Copies of this chain bind each other. A is one copy, B any other.
Amino acid sequence: MLDQIHLLAAVTVLGVLEQAYFVLQVIYARRVFGISPPKISGPPEFERIFRAQVNCSEYFPIFLALLWQAGLFFHQGLAAALGLLYLYARYCYFIGYRASSSKRLAPMYFGTGILWILVAASALGILHFFLSHYVGLNVLQLLAA
């Protein structure tokens, strides 16, 4: 079983390490700007770093859910590759947002695009499974014939 998920597991752990990096950046920014918990408001420079981390956290479960469905039902290698691209897009998003609100946009669109590809891969893979499981229709075999 593990050989069907080891690439997904590796990308998942990398994703956790990226989240840890973002959290450390917020802790560091709290020190620099002197904003102690539970406060979450401050100068825009701090709020951008804080919101960048919150946004990445919010998308993390969505990303993992899609990564694993696409990997299990479509193709593990492709899902893992898209996962790595997404983590790279999130890194660019965080660095961009820290610099200015507008610089978060390009990597945000890029990351969202990857998520939609993962949605499509998951949906196609699950649909293919439904068709062959319930209707006995194997689309791939039909296309190959």
Partner-B contacts on A (CB < 8 A): 1-6, 9-10, 12-13, 15-17, 19-20, 36-40, 44, 47-48, 50-52, 54, 57-58, 60-62, 64-66, 69, 72-73, 97, 101, 104, 119, 122-123, 126, 129-130, 133
Contacts and interface: CB of A to CB of B under 8 A. Distances in A.
Interface residues of chain A: helix, strand, loop or mixed (majority): helix
A19 B58 CA distance: 10
A126 B62 CA distance: 22
Contacts of A130: 6, 10
Given A62-B60, A119-B13, A5 B133 contact: no
A50 to B, nearest CB: 7
Nearest to A57: B58
Contacts of A123: 13
